[in-house]
Amino acid sequence: MPITDLLERNAKLYENEVALVEINPEVREEQRVTWREYELIQPTSDSYYRREITWGVFDEKANRVAHLLLNRGVRKGQKVGVLLMNCLEWLPIYFGILKTGAVAVPLNFRYTAEEIEYCLKLADVDVLFFGPEFIGRMEQIAPRMKKERLLFYVGDSCPSFAEDYPFYVSNCSSAQPKILIEDEDEAAIYYSSGTTGFPKAILHNHQALSQSARMEAAHHETTHDDVFCCIPPLYHTGAKMHWFGSLYTGSRAVLLKSNTPEAILEAVSSEGCSIVWLLVPWAQDLLAALDRGDLSIDDYTLSQWRLMHIGAQPVPPSLIRHWLLYFPHHKYDTNYGLSESTGPGCVHLGMDHIDKVGAIGVPGLGWKAKIVDEQGVTVPQGEVGELCVKGPGVMLCYYHDEEATNEVLKEGWLHTGDMARQDDDGFIFLVDRKKDVIISGGENLYPVQIEAFLAACEKVHDVAVIGLPDRRLGEIAAAIIQVKEGMTCTEEEIEDFCLGLPRYKRPKKIIFADVPRNATGKIEKPRLREIYHGARLVEEQNRS
């Protein structure tokens, strides 16, 4: 069924039950803003604001957005962009777009003005909803866009180059728009992370979105009584498709606008959250705060928290072992996926396989997986090759990029670019990104393996391993290490710790620095290469 049918079903079955809660720990009484469209802005403590809407109101607001767009001439198949920080307005706007039969195009909130303009042109976006955080960036490109695109400002004090969304939407009908939407219809364009240049536009249909909702609910045994805490950005398939589990079951979700350890525990406690999706850095920060004694789990109501799951990147097994010391009753799951596969879940560990921590798991609901060599032939079990997946959530294409589409889509199989191996039980272990493999003296080094080893060092908060040029070996492994707060560490200590690695896998260079991660928790390795590659070349030249 189209994903919009789930919202309409929930509005009928659970009309007066809360669907979404927004919590912002950083908004205080003197900063309070009363939106014309939303009445429920209520302080629930001295430190944050809380807003909520029911399923019935959610659906009505989506209908108003749909009629606003239809009244402005938007028709089935046209593209409508969303450039908002996580907020209570985000999902009603997204579903309002889908209800018109148009294609929703979420944009990364970290995009520069140039990247915003590029992505809008690439996806043929006709209308854009944007929030107050983006006024400065939009001002730079609005003069070139005003005649081509309709701009709706989602906030108070509308800038002169845009139209006042709260004012216009409030005058629109809340009735269901009479637009026929089918599973095969195009639904959304999501952008790749853009780590190798400007991002690609990934096109999905309604079937893919609905499949991800059904799969998420099944994988995590989500029920109508669960409460999901969503912290990552909604523009990304990860956060959106995990929330789709709540949509599928008609259960409540909390949009938490902070990732600090205190904010996470407070939200889980006060809202009764039972499922929380964390990125690796946030889990690391929370554990560090507990280790230091800055926070105590005894100060919060956490017994209802049953599942912690992590995705978006490889998870060091040491992190999960550490986590279970504080939360021994937790179920754990890791989800593997990419935007080309409608986000997380095409491979997942499963909540009953804690003994397989370190693996990304087995094919998810409705999915198949295989590991192939450079010729596309399946490798023997246990050998490393490229992971390929096939299922109902595979993208239709890279929009306007047939060549790139043909490179990764072959006979229905999506070639992920991730190197992996499969153990005797059929569990898949991610080895590394194909492009991140380091070839040192003829040996293949997989940074993820070295990172997982170093993450177990008690003084290491975060670590990234990259290849740097070397005259003799071609490349060497360099470890960028972020030391835990309040601790000191030396190269000698890291070298001693690495004696537990085979000699050829030991990092040849140790760099103590912060490890940069993007909004979805992935290490920004292109940025690290840019920073350290040049310095290494100079170092090599000075030796010659």
What CATH architecture is 3-11+51-210?
3-Layer(aba) Sandwich (3.40)
Record the pTM.
0.82
The model's pLDDT over 22-52, given as tens digits with 9 standing for 90+, comes to 998 876 544 444 443 444 444 444 446 889 9
Percent of the chain with pLDDT over 90: 64
Dihedral sign from CA coordinates of 63, 66, 68, 70: negative
For range 528-538, the mean pLDDT: 73
Rounded Cα distance between 104 and 395, Å, is 15
DSSP 14-63: STTSEEEEEEETT--GGG----SS----EE-SSS-EEEEEEHHHHHHHHH
Q: 450-468 burial, b if ≥16 CB within 10 A, otherwise e?
A: bbbbbbebeebbbbbbbbb
Does the pLDDT at position 424 exceed 70?
yes
Q: Residue type for 310, please?
A: I
pLDDT of residue 427: 94
pLDDT of residue 29: 40
**Fold assignment, 340-436:** Luciferase; domain 3 (2.30.38)
For range 250-260, the mean pLDDT: 95
Banded pLDDT at 128 (limits 50, 70, 90): very high
DSSP 407-465: HHEETTEEEEEEEEEE-TTS-EEEEEEGGG-EEETTEEE-HHHHHHHHTTSTTEEEEEE
The model's pLDDT over 372-382, given as tens digits with 9 standing for 90+, comes to 998 899 999 99
DSSP-assigned letter for residue 107: -
pLDDT of residue 104: 98
Tokens of 206: 């309604």
Instruction: Report the candidate in 18, 37, 47 with the shortest Cα–Cα distance to residue 96.
Output: 37
The model's pLDDT over 332-354, given as tens digits with 9 standing for 90+, comes to 998 888 899 998 889 999 888 88
The model's pLDDT over 481-498, given as tens digits with 9 standing for 90+, comes to 999 988 999 999 999 999
Assign domain 441-543 to its CATH superfamily: ANL, C-terminal domain (3.30.300.30)
Tell me the domain boundaries of the chain. Answer: 3-11+51-210, 340-436, 441-543
Strand segments, DSSP code E, in 132-274 are: 150-153, 163-164, 186-191, 201-205, 227-230, 252-256
Does the pLDDT at position 203 exceed 80?
yes
Dihedral sign from CA coordinates of 477, 482, 483, 489: positive
